[in-house]
Amino acid sequence: MNEHDLSVAIENVLVARNLRQMRVAQAALQPGYYLRAARLLQAAATRESALILIGTGFPVVDTFETDGPVGAIALYEALAALGYRPMLVCAAPLAAALAPDFTVLELTAGDLDSACAEAREALAELQPAAIVSIERPGLGADGRYYNMRGEDISARCGIFDPFLELASCPTIAIGDGGNEIGMGNIASAISALDIRVSVTTCDELLVADVSNWGAYGLIAFLGLWRRRDLLGAISPTAILDYLSLRGSVDGVTRENTPTEDGLDAGEGLAVLAELRALTGFAQH
């Protein structure tokens, strides 16, 4: 199949379970969005040691959820293997949990004005070639952040939206519910969903049943183009265990378990197997 058809196949796999009505979001997007987003990252590689910012981290009670960081770590390691210079961008307490093992930029601003200043300074200094947001809370129409339960979580979020809004480089966002950065691209189309929809936009919005899995869709193309089985190197079990030891919780159950959105690691492994089969690195 050609690359566009492959992208559509990947897009269908990633919303096949339809856990939070992301087929509604998919219908509002022009098919081929995973291919287009991956091409943005591929183009960034023309810059030597291109810096890619990967924002992640969704607060749950007083810690962070596993959905987002798993995909961010997988993408970070894939990009590093290809010669990019990835950097994770997150707020406390996730930033401190990841800093010993990854290059991390911590979000510290407590209000939108300060966050805009923080983003301008960081963008000017770092000059990223692309920015990816994976399961980051997105500002609602009232300038606040809300979780899937409709609870106001603004005080614990950190603010990443200005990085995408002020960037001069391509921006990509991944979400699975409607309240994440990037969902502003299709806000009207998903307004009927049971969620406080984010109004923050991006260049390419990607949707998946679990945001972590959206990162796998990007990696599928990057590996295909370099003829490297990058998906085969991903171990959701190992990453979930790593995060769990550092205090993560499942965003659905709010329990400290090595699961993502109420699903055990086997679900993510099954998605990886499907994507590897589609890209020719494994047999059906």
Q: Are the C-beta atoms of residues 131 and 170 closer than 8 Å to each other?
A: yes
Tokens 């962070």 belong to residue = 64
Q: Are the C-beta atoms of residues 107 and 159 closer than 8 Å to each other?
A: yes
Q: Which two tokens stand for residue 116?
A: 């805009």
pTM attached to this predicted model: 0.96
pLDDT reported for residue 110: 87
CATH of span 3-278:
3.90.1640.20
Tokens 């291109």 belong to residue = 50
Beta bridge pairs of residue 104: 88
Domain boundaries, given as residue ranges, for the chain? 3-278
Q: Are the C-beta atoms of residues 50 and 129 closer than 8 Å to each other?
A: yes
Query: Along the 284 residues of the chain, how does pLDDT read in single tens digits?
Result: 899 999 999 999 999 999 989 999 999 999 999 999 999 999 997 776 799 999 999 999 899 999 999 999 999 999 999 999 999 999 999 999 999 999 999 999 989 999 999 999 999 999 999 999 999 999 999 999 999 888 999 988 899 999 999 999 999 999 999 999 999 999 999 998 989 999 999 999 999 999 999 999 999 999 999 999 999 999 999 999 999 999 999 999 999 999 999 999 999 999 999 999 999 987 53
User: 8, 2, 13, 5: which is closest to 231 by C-alpha?
Assistant: 13
As a whole number of angstroms, the distance between CA 44 and CA 46 comes to 5
